[in-house]
Structure 1
Amino acid sequence: MNYIGHGGKEIVERIMPREQAVEAIKGLTEVTIRGQIAREVIDIAYGFFTPLEGFMTRADVEGVCNEMKLANGVLWPIPIVFDISDEEIKEKNIKEGDKLLLKYQDKPMAILEVEEIFTYDKKEMAKKVYGTDEEKHPGVARTYNYKDKFIGGKVTLVNEPVMNPPFDQFFFTPKQLRQKFAEKGWQRIVAHQTRNVPHTGHEWLMKGAWLSAHGELPVEKTVTGILVNAIIGEKRKGDYIDEAIVLCHDVLRKAGYFREDVHMTSIALWDMRYAGPKEAVFHAILRTNLGLTHHMFGRDHAGVGTYYDPYDAHRIFDRIPEGALNIKPVRVLEWWYCPVCGEVTYSGLCGHKDKAQGFSGTLIRSIIQDGVKPPRLIFRPEVFDLIMECAEKYGFGSPFVTDRYLKERQDIFTLPDLK
């Protein structure tokens, strides 16, 4: 079946059969890649980044930075680039027209066709994408750390990754997810973007988004679903560990806080850029390719520090030309606990804002660090218990990323031997 993704383009799949790959990689110049590039190779090859078929050329990067469009005119907000040093280009005599064998974990992973080798001013790229050139912005810092030059060209996966537990049960390609939705009979699917374990505020955000997406549809048969799509990628100290994020979201369904037929958890490989409103557009594109029809955007979506207004990610969709996105934004405010109402309530409805008790990240983290089971209005007991289990099983005693976790954690995926 042909599935249509972002830009009205058929979902990209660039996977070479193993028997063909064994022969195709012989004699190719080898380039070792880091984790970010490996994850983006997977995203390109399986179609998460449709219509991209490879890393961007200079024309694409210029279009993205200046107009938020690829060279072909399709909406795209963040550059996807392959950086390489002058030294490596010279040492390996890399030139346009070559094919490179990309290696990761000391294994062959993909072939990169060298269409163009180019330079681009990294300060200009940062300023135009993030709205700032301050290095304390993590997206800007990532940009400044790119090497001397960029290679644009198509990518073909020659060695499919094997997801390691517990991620293996949550990884679906865009085509696989669409098949899942068809099996469930879902006509509308709303995305919940997350990098956190779920407290009840997140739960109510999802339930509110489901109600918004379901809209006028009949209640007799469930045709609307929630897809939790957890961002899995490069971690910073103090982040929640990835294993706790996915397993704790999934337990909301297993424990009955969502019905089996309305809730599903999945992962997407992506290193956050913290680009605020532009990253919100990127997330909308990503979830369009996954087959979703709606996407929830809350306060401070993909933001960092004070670089963006809390609701810039809402406003940017008013500036997107009609037809440029095939997904509907569900713009939500905050949920809080109101002691007057005696319940978790929505800021757009409750009139007791002066008495509201928000779900602050500092409070939530202190609760988890204390290890004392909190009230059900903050954490579901099944979620809290599982956070503690994940800390022991995966986090070396902590549910938050530590130096040891960064050094010793099991990789998200493994590349098999290519024989």
Structure 2
Amino acid sequence: MVLDVSEEELSSLGVREGASVLLTHQDQPLAVLEVEEIFSYDKEFLAQHVYGTTDEAHPGVLRTYSFQDRFVAGPITLVNPPVINPPYDRFWRTPRQLRERFAELGWTKVVAHQTRNVPHSGHEWMMKGAYLAAEAQGILVSAVIGEKKPGDYIDEAIVLGHDKLRESGFIRPDVHQTSTLMWDMRYAGPREAVFHALVRKNMGCTHHMFGRDHAGVGNYYGTYAAHEIFDQLPDLGIKSVLTLEWWYCPVCESVAYEGLCGHREHKQDLSGTFIRSIIQGGTEPASVSLRGEVLEVVRECADTYGFGSPFVTEAYLENRTPVMSIPALN
């Protein structure tokens, strides 16, 4: 791993190559870092080669420019395992535990679905389509939780909303698992798509689905750049499943898929804005847009976890129960 630290802090702490450093979180010991290397780096060079831009309007670039001026690198050893708090404790598994779970279920082909949203019918059909395309035995929903900004869905609604699809039988329980990934998005577009695929490979997945503008932001990347990059790479040990757009077609009176439905001019987007308007409007959705069972869970999460809102507010940021807690060592 690498950790950004200022030159002044390294000097004041007396940290040098070969040192062992205790890392803390929530003011408690967490892990030990064996310092193998300390080096400087060019932030603009890093931004350009990761994000393809040095524009500070890009959130990943802005994050990179906020780093301290030195990287400390070396292996880490966990010394104080964190406690995963409810409701995430039901869904958190290490990569080894996930692979063991897949073996128990008899899954040899597993397709990963990354999400940061409450599931609408487009997500549901994207998972089903990728499952069929990969000839898989299982779907792993890998919900990204962690860093949040006002207006995002609260993490609890995302995780419990996806699991409701399994509980209600919209996707068979024996082919669907919900899990969590603690990761702060960098919005690096196609390069982050490759990273996501490698992370899910480590979890035991054999396939990873990618939709439009995966890990993108603004207009920095092409709509299907995350699809195209895999054509330029050698075999990574995990296959990409490339999906186009799903929408509601009023002519077909069903969810439709780009390339199959001939009524594109009539399409009704299942956009995040549209789904949010349903959740905020207090009306019951049609099942072709958002499952009523999922909406019920979202509303329950708003009351239980979101201080009255299914979307991140300042109150949520200040008072939410952390995803994990670090126990005090005796």
So what's the TM-score if we normalise by structure 2?
A: 0.98
Instruction: Report the Cα distance in structure 1 between the residues aligned to 2:113 and 2:132, rounded to whole angstroms.
Output: 13
Q: What secondary structure is seen at the aligned counterpart in 2 of 1:261?
A: helix
Instruction: Report the Cα distance in structure 2 between the residues aligned to 1:404 and 1:124, rounded to whole angstroms.
Output: 38
For residues 204-245 of structure 1, give each alpha carbon's deviation from its aligned partner in whole angstroms, at most 9, with x where no partner exists. 00010111111xxxxxxxx61000000112111111100100
1:16-415 alignment, distance < 5 Å: 55=1, 81-214=2-135, 224-321=137-234, 323=235, 325-415=236-326
Which aligned runs of 4 or more in structure 1 are off by greater than 3 angstroms?
none
Instruction: Report the Cα distance in structure 2 between the residues aligned to 1:123 and 1:397, rounded to whole angstroms.
Output: 42
8 Å CA contact 1:163–1:412 kept in 2: the answer is yes
Counterpart AA for 1:100: V
Structure 1 residue 340: deviation in Å? Answer: 1.0
8 Å CA contact 1:337–1:356 kept in 2: the answer is yes
Partner of 1:70: none
- Point out the more displaced range, 101-110 or 85-94: 85-94
Counterpart AA for 2:10: I
Structure 1 residue 372: deviation in Å? Answer: 1.7
Q: What secondary structure is seen at the aligned counterpart in 1 of 2:288?
A: coil
Instruction: Report the Cα distance in structure 2 between the residues aligned to 1:375 and 1:339, rounded to whole angstroms.
Output: 12
Counterpart AA for 2:283: V
In the alignment, structure 1 segments of 5+ residues that lack a partner are: 1-54, 56-80, 215-222
For residues 101-144 of structure 1, give each alpha carbon's deviation from its aligned partner in whole angstroms, at most 9, with x where no partner exists. 00111110000111111110111111110001111111111101
Q: Percent identity?
A: 61
In the alignment, structure 2 segments of 5+ residues that lack a partner are: none
8 Å CA contact 1:166–1:243 kept in 2: the answer is yes
Structure 1 residue 391: deviation in Å? Answer: 0.7
CA RMSD of aligned residues (A): 0.9
Structure 1 residue 194: deviation in Å? Answer: 0.3
Structure 1 residue 388: deviation in Å? Answer: 0.6
For residues 301-346 of structure 1, give each alpha carbon's deviation from its aligned partner in whole angstroms, at most 9, with x where no partner exists. 010011101100000000002x3x0011000001111111111011
- Point out the more displaced range, 353-362 or 326-335: 353-362
Instruction: Report the Cα distance in structure 2 between the residues aligned to 1:168 and 1:360, rounded to whole angstroms.
Output: 30
Instruction: Report the Cα distance in structure 2 between the residues aligned to 1:122 and 1:398, rounded to whole angstroms.
Output: 38
Structure 1 residue 177: deviation in Å? Answer: 0.4
Counterpart AA for 1:298: G
Q: What secondary structure is seen at the aligned counterpart in 2 of 1:231?
A: strand
8 Å CA contact 1:100–1:112 kept in 2: the answer is yes
Structure 1 residue 148: deviation in Å? Answer: 1.8
Instruction: Report the Cα distance in structure 2 between the residues aligned to 1:145 and 1:372, rounded to whole angstroms.
Output: 43
So what's the TM-score if we normalise by structure 1?
A: 0.78
Q: What secondary structure is seen at the aligned counterpart in 2 of 1:230?
A: strand
Instruction: Report the Cα distance in structure 2 between the residues aligned to 1:278 and 1:398, rounded to whole angstroms.
Output: 33
Partner of 1:58: none
Structure 1 residue 358: deviation in Å? Answer: 1.0
Instruction: Report the Cα distance in structure 2 between the residues aligned to 1:371 and 1:100, rounded to whole angstroms.
Output: 52
Q: What secondary structure is seen at the aligned counterpart in 2 of 1:382?
A: helix
Structure 1 residue 371: deviation in Å? Answer: 2.1
Q: What secondary structure is seen at the aligned counterpart in 2 of 1:165?
A: coil
